[in-house]
Every structure is written in C-alpha cells, then in structure tokens.
C-alpha cells in the first residue's frame, strides 16, 4: 500500500515537471499499465499538493468531455474533472506560448459559486441557489502527452489537460437567459472555425455542475464557495499558434478576444 502511494506521488511529480517545463511525455499508462481511474484521480490530488507547495492556489474545478464534439475528438466517452489553480488564469489579452506544448482553445461557460455545493442527487434548483454568477470563458487545454493522444486514465492523471483559461471581464446573472440556447462562435484570424450552443454540454451547462458535484461526492469532496467551474467545451477545440488572433462571441453575453504570442527571447 505504502509503495503504491509513493508511486502515485512520483507519477504526480513527473506530470508536474512536464506541466511546468512545457515538455511532452509518454502516457503514464505505458509505464504503469495497472493504474485505475481512481488512481488517476488520486494522482490529480497529489499533483494539486505539488502545485500548492510551489505557491499556487486552488481556485476551482473544470469538467471535461461533457459534449459529444469533445468526446469524439479525443476518443474518450465519459465526462472527467480536473483542478484549476490561480496560475492558470490569464488576465491579459495575450496567451503566451511560454511553457505550453500544443495548446488548443475551446469556448465554455463558467459558474462561480457563492455557497458550498455538495451531494450526489442535486437538482438544477440546488445549483442555481448556490451560484453567484456565470461568465463566458475560453479554456486553453494542453495535453502533456505526445501527439495529444491518451486514454481516460492518462487524461485524468494529467489534470484533464488543464493549462490556462480566460474569463470575460463581465459577469452575468444566470437567471435572465437560457444557457442551453446560448450560441457561441469562435473565430481564428477572422475566420469562423467552430460554433455551437450551450445545449452541447450535457443538454444544459447546469447539468455539468450537477455531474461535478456528484463525481466529487463519490470521493468525499464538494465544491467550495467562491470556486470557479468550467463546465466543458461547447465545440471541438482548435489549435493555436504564434500570431493567431482569437475572438469568441457568446450571444448577448459579449465576447472574449486574445492574441497568441510565443515567449519573448531575453
């Protein structure tokens, strides 16, 4: 038992090294084919401890693979969750490629909670009651695995490919319009590259929050007040490169714009 714990911690440290150095790695299931999904989530939790030791802070959760478009594009057919930390949030209008491997971007809806959300059988009403506001978001995912290729266990161990994220400047009340009807369009260098509706996320993004609470409850965890939740890509993710200009429109919820720049030589 002891040996296994050490091993999972060592895997978490390996993953942390590749996440912070921006270098790719072989899938963890190649060196450790015996890993279970439960082990992979434990690796995530151990990775979170590495991040906190580095001075990072936990600020939320992300759901992934909550839409058919996303599941199909990576060949994994069930929702997963990951952990968001302070250093992942980009607050300027520039995505620096420093420390990234092969980033892709995807439009999402973020929830910000005001109350704890805990339980296995929550309703949409429970989620709305605990929600402070919602925000348009763009997640930047960056698998640490070679060729962005992985199994369910690998991607869970790699913190669900979490890398960076943008939130809009404006927060919105979730009560005035239907998030499932929200149309999102993503443009890269002026060209429309993806579009979709909020309903792509498990029928309605609120369902993603319910699912997250349920998955966390199974391991004795809950969503704490103040946490940000990314509910999952509405469309397929698109690759971004140095010099790209991204614009993502979220109907009446405005837009998120940013440029992609490679690291500055110094």
Binding site for ligand OOG (CB under 6 A): 62, 64-66, 70, 74, 106, 139, 141, 143, 155, 160-161, 232-233
- Beta carbon of residue 196, minimum distance to Mg ion (angstroms, whole number): 13
Pairing verdict, β 228-230 and 58-64 = parallel
Residue with the CB atom nearest ligand OOG in the bound state: 64
Q: Rounded distance, CA 261 to CA 1, Å?
A: 46
- Beta carbon of residue 126, minimum distance to ligand OOG (angstroms, whole number): 23
Please, are residues 105 and 234 in contact by the beta-carbon 8 Å criterion?
A: no
Binding mask 115-144 for Mg ion (x = CB under 5 A): ------------------------x-----
**Partner from Mg ion, ligand OOG, none contacting 27, C-beta within 5 to 8 A by type:** none
Closest CA to 126 of 216, 223, 228: 223
For Mg ion, the closer of residues 16 and 139 by Cβ is 139
Work out whether 233 is an interface residue with Mg ion (CB under 5 A).
yes
What residues form DSSP beta bridges with 170?
A: none
- Beta carbon of residue 230, minimum distance to ligand OOG (angstroms, whole number): 7
Q: Rounded distance, CA 26 to CA 148, Å?
A: 10
Work out whether 174 is an interface residue with Mg ion (CB under 5 A).
no
What residues form DSSP beta bridges with 259?
A: 94, 245
What are the residues whose beta carbons fall under 8 Å from the beta carbon of 218, sequence distance 6 or more? Answer: 120
For ligand OOG, the closer of residues 42 and 139 by Cβ is 139
Q: Tell me how far CA of residue 234 lies from CA of 76, 160, 207, 250, in angstroms.
A: 16, 16, 13, 11
- Beta carbon of residue 264, minimum distance to ligand OOG (angstroms, whole number): 27
- Beta carbon of residue 127, minimum distance to ligand OOG (angstroms, whole number): 18
For Mg ion, the closer of residues 107 and 174 by Cβ is 107
3-state helix, strand, coil in the chain (%, to 5): 35, 30, 35
For ligand OOG, the closer of residues 183 and 225 by Cβ is 183
Binding interface with Mg ion (CB under 5 A):
139, 233
């Amino acid at each position: 038992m002891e040996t296994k714990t050490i091993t999972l911690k060592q895997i978490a440290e390996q993953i942390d090294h590749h996440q912070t150095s921006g270098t790719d790695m072989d899938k963890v299931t190649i060196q450790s084919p015996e890993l279970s999904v439960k082990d992979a989530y434990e690796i995530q939790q151990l990775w979170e401890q590495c991040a906190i030791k580095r001075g990072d802070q936990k600020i939320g959760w992300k759901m992934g693979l909550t839409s058919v478009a996303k599941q199909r594009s990576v060949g994994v057919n069930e929702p997963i969750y990951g952990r968001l930390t302070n250093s992942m949030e980009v607050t300027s209008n520039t995505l620096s490629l420093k420390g990234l491997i092969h980033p892709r971007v995807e439009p999402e809806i973020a929830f910000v909670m005001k109350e704890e959300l805990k339980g296995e059988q929550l309703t949409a009403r429970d989620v709305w009651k605990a929600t402070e506001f919602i925000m348009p978001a763009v997640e930047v995912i960056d698998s640490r695995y070679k060729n962005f290729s992985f199994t369910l266990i690998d991607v869970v161990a790699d913190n669900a490919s979490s890398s960076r994220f943008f939130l809009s400047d404006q927060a919105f009340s979730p009560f005035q319009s239907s998030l499932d009807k929200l149309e999102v369009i993503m443009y890269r260098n002026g060209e429309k590259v993806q579009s979709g509706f909020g309903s792509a996320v498990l029928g309605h993004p609120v369902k993603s929050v319910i699912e997250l609470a349920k998955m966390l409850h199974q391991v004795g965890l809950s969503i704490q007040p103040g946490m940000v939740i990314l509910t999952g890509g509405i469309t397929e993710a698109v690759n971004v490169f140095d010099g790209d200009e991204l614009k993502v429109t979220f109907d009446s919820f405005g837009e998120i714009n940013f440029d992609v720049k490679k690291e500055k030589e110094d």
